Chains A and B, each alone.
Chain A
Amino acid sequence: AQSVTQLDSHVSVSEGTPVLLRCNYSSSYSPSLFWYVQHPNKGLQLLLKYTSAATLVKGINGFEAEFKKSETSFHLTKPSAHMSDAAEYFCVVSDRIKAAGNKLTFGGGTRVLVKP
C-alpha cells in the first residue's frame, strides 16, 4: 500500500521569497512521484515528475523537487514566489508496476497564499 503526507495544509509566503512545500511518501515498490498544481476552478497541471533518473528534478515555472529515498521525501521548492503561484499543490505517488490501471495516491494538498 502507498500513502502520501503533505506536512502543511496551508503555506503563506511573501512575493519574491522562497517557497517550500513538504511531502513524505510510503510505497511498497519503487515509486514514480509527481507534483501537480491546481488553480481555482481549474484542472490539475503537472509541475514535475520523478521516475528514477536524477534525484533533483526541475519542473515548469521555476519549481524543483528533490527525491530523498532515505527520508522518503519529495519536497517542492521555488527560489522566488510570484503572485501567480497562489494555488493548491498536490504531491502524488504512483507505484511503478504494470497493472490494470495506474492508480495515483494523492496527498491532502497544500494551499499556497502569496502576499504582495
Chain B
Amino acid sequence: DTEVTQTPKHLVMGMTNKKSLKCEQHMGHRAMYWYKQKAKKPPELMFVYSYEKLSINESVPSRFSPECPNSSLLNLHLHALQPEDSALYLCASSQDPSGYNEQFFGPGTRLTVL
C-alpha cells in the first residue's frame, strides 16, 4: 500500500461547528504533515509529527488542533473556524523526518467555512 488516504473529500461547516479531518497511511512512515493550500498557491506547512510527537507548529491558530493517535493516523480537529480558513487541506507522510525522503501526499479535503 503506497498511498495516503484522507476523509472526508469535501466538508462544509459553519463557524460554530466542530469537525475533524482524518489522514491514514500504511507505509510505515514515521513523519506526517498537515498542509493548507489556497487556490493558485503552493501548500503551506501547518504541522509536523515526527515519531508520533508534534515537532513543528508553524504558528497555526489554536482553532486548528492536530492529533496523532498512532503511527498510521493523523487527525486535524477544527473548531470555530473563519471563512478565510476555507482551503484544500493536504496530509502527507515521509519515511522519516530527514530531508532525504520525499513526502507522499493524500488527495486532500476541500473545506468550506460558511
A32 touches B90 (CB 8 A): no
Say if the beta carbon of B94 comes within 8 Å of chain A. yes
B42 touches A100 (CB 8 A): no
Taking CB atoms, residues of chain B closer than 8 Å to A95 are 99
Instruction: Give B114 Cβ to nearest chain A Cβ, in Å.
Output: 19
Taking CB atoms, residues of chain A closer than 8 Å to B31 are 101-102
Q: How many residues of A contact B (CB 8 A)?
A: 28
Taking CB atoms, residues of chain B closer than 8 Å to A24 are none
B99 touches A97 (CB 8 A): yes
Mask for B89-104, Cβ within 8 A of A = 1, else 0?
0101010011111111
B100 touches A96 (CB 8 A): yes
Q: Which among B42, B56, B99, B104 has the highest number of chain A CB atoms within 10 Å? A: B99
Chain A contact residues: helix, strand, loop or mixed = loop
Selected A-B contacts with CB under 8 Å, 15 pairs: A31-B99, A34-B102, A36-B105, A42-B107, A43-B105, A43-B106, A43-B108, A96-B99, A100-B56, A101-B49, A101-B97, A102-B31, A102-B33, A102-B98, A102-B101
**Residues of B bordering A, CB below 8 Å:** 4, 6, 31, 33, 40-43, 45, 48-50, 55-56, 88, 90, 92, 94, 97-108, 110
A-B contacts besides A32-B99, A32-B100, A98-B98, 20 pairs, CB < 8 Å: A36-B105, A42-B108, A43-B4, A43-B6, A45-B105, A46-B102, A46-B104, A94-B100, A96-B99, A98-B97, A99-B98, A100-B48, A100-B55, A101-B48, A101-B50, A101-B55, A102-B97, A102-B101, A103-B45, A108-B42
